[in-house]
């Protein structure tokens, strides 16, 4: 039987029954021994004195919260939520859900998940300023089966008054980072941070999210079986700190079975003022890392930088049905004749580049392992030419 529990950081008490009428106070009390009380979740190991007077690790089998239950968070500041016990493992046979109570907007300072599995976070606001390089949501490599749904993740609600120095000093390093496995991140908003999302695990889904007003890479990725689909990425903020900005960049270690499909990437939807600058498109351009089976399909990229879609050292690459359009700001300092391009290195094999519209192409010659077809070249005046490739 699945039960529901309530936490009210303003009016609750951890000795209450945990009902809506008598809520608990501290979210951390669910997953940690706190103030002399054992963890409320039955699967959490904690160090305690046993019945024979010997100190030992064990779980609170009589605890009220069980896997499959939902913990509702009421309005107020709930602080940090740390899920994991050093040197121990939390094994949940069914998901434990932390959700905003109906009609409430609870605020979590950060979420950290390690050494555990089966967690769901839904409808929460996660917000905090710079904190020693910590991401607002961090899922470690020994965590699995984690769902982030409809989260609002930010350093601050409104950063419009920030100067570049404020961004460098105050903005959180990033929104959501995962090195875990079987992680789903959907319907979330990540804004007013330096970076957006770091997707470095296995079996990661990142879909239907909104990333806006970021001062670093919107998405970094590497690993296995990663799907980045249906996201909207807007307003790249150049902070004057020398960072190289990308909408999506493949990172160290390479990866395989990567799907990047149906995303919209727009460098600026508003006047960015002094923050206007370069933001490159979708890429994995470090030749020392091997990539396999990468599909980049039906994305729309509007920016002003050399690399619109760029891949090096890929076996099995499909770049199909994308629009890669220069927004004609030349904010990156390139001369007007060095235009936004789709680039595939000649070291790639089993390549398909078809039905793309771009300001320029730099591709290897067609061959038995390189298929080029129905690509369109558009110049700044809007004129298009069919089937144009530049080897």
List the domain boundaries for the chain: 128-386
Whether 334 contacts 306, CB under 8 Å:
yes
**pLDDT one-digit tens code per residue, 38-60:** 999 999 999 988 888 898 999 99
pLDDT-derived band at 219 (thresholds 50, 70, 90) equals: very high
Output the pLDDT for position 391.
37
Output the pLDDT for position 137.
98
Whether 353 contacts 342, CB under 8 Å:
yes
**Residue 389 clears pLDDT 50, i.e. is over it:** no
Whether 84 contacts 115, CB under 8 Å:
yes
Q: Name the region of 352 (left: φ>0; alpha: ψ -120 to 50; beta: rest).
A: beta
Determine the average pLDDT of the residues in 171-183: 97
Separation in Å, CA 331 to CA 237, 243, 279, 310, 318: 12, 15, 9, 19, 29
Output the pLDDT for position 336.
39
Output the pLDDT for position 381.
55
Output the pLDDT for position 72.
98
Output the pLDDT for position 132.
66
More confident residue, 247 or 244: 247
Output the pLDDT for position 37.
94
Determine the average pLDDT of the residues in 164-169: 92
Output the pLDDT for position 382.
53
Where is 344: in which H helix or E strand? strand 341-344
3-state secondary structure (DSSP) of residue 275: helix
Output the pLDDT for position 58.
92
Whether 322 contacts 342, CB under 8 Å:
yes
Determine the average pLDDT of the residues in 90-107: 98
| Mean residue pLDDT across the chain | 91
Residues contacting residue 132 through CB under 8 Å, at least 6 positions apart? none
Where is 113: in which H helix or E strand? strand 110-113
Output the pLDDT for position 327.
81
The 8-class DSSP code of residue 364 comes to P
**Residue 331 clears pLDDT 60, i.e. is over it:** no
34's tokens: 């706190």
Q: State what percent of residues in the chain have pLDDT above 90.
A: 77
**pLDDT one-digit tens code per residue, 340-381:** 688 888 889 999 999 999 888 888 888 888 999 999 887 655
214's tokens: 């970021």
Separation in Å, CA 351 to CA 59, 100, 217, 364: 53, 46, 26, 9
The phi, psi pair for 218, rounded to 5°, reads: -70, -45
Exposure of 95 in the CB half-sphere (CA atoms within 13 A):
16
Spatial distance between the Cα atoms of 144 and 201, rounded to a whole number of angstroms: 9
Stretch among 104-118, 148-162, 245-259, 360-374 having the lowest mean pLDDT: 360-374
**Residue 204 clears pLDDT 80, i.e. is over it:** yes
């Amino acid at each position: 039987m699945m039960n529901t529990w309530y936490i009210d950081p303003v009016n609750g008490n951890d000795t209450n029954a945990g009902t809506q009428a008598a809520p608990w106070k501290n979210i951390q009390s669910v997953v940690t021994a706190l103030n002399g009380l054992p963890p409320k979740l039955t699967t959490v190991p904690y160090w305690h004195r046993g019945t024979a007077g010997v100190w030992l690790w064990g779980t609170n089998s009589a605890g009220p919260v069980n896997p499959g239950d939902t913990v509702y968070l009421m309005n107020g500041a709930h602080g940090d939520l740390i899920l994991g016990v050093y040197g121990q493992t939390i094994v949940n046979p069914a998901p434990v859900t932390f959700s905003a109570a109906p009609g409430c907007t609870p605020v979590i300072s950060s979420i950290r998940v390690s050494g555990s599995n089966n967690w769901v976070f839904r409808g929460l606001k996660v917000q905090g300023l710079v904190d020693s390089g910590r991401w607002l949501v961090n899922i470690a490599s020994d965590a699995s089966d984690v769902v982030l749904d409809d989260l609002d993740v930010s350093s601050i609600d409104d950063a419009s008054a920030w100067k570049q120095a404020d961004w460098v000093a105050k903005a959180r390093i990033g929104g959501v980072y995962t090195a875990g496995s079987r992680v789903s991140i959907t319907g979330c908003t990540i804004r007013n941070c330096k970076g957006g999302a770091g997707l470095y695990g296995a079996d990661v889904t990142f879909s239907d999210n909104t990333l806006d007003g970021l001062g670093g890479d919107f998405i970094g990725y590497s690993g296995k079986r990663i799907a980045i689909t249906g996201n909207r990425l807007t307003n790249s903020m150049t902070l004057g700190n020398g960072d190289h900005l990308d909408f999506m960049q493949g990172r160290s270690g390479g990866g395989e079975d990567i799907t990047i499909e149906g995303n919209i990437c727009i460098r600026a939807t508003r006047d960015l003022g002094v923050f206007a600058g370069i933001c490159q498109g979708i890429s994995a351009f470090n030749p020392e890392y091997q990539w396999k089976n990468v599909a980049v399909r039906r994305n729309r990229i509007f920016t002003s930088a050399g690399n619109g879609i760029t891949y090096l050292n890929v076996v099995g690459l499909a770049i199909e049905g994308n629009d890669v359009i220069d927004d004609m700001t030349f904010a990156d300092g390139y001369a007007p004749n060095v235009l936004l391009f789709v680039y595939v290195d000649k070291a790639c094999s089993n390549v398909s580049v078809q039905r793309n519209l771009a300001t320029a192409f730099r591709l290897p010659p067609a061959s038995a392992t390189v298929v080029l077809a129905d690509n369109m070249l558009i110049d700044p005046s809007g004129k298009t030419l069919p089937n144009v490739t530049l080897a």
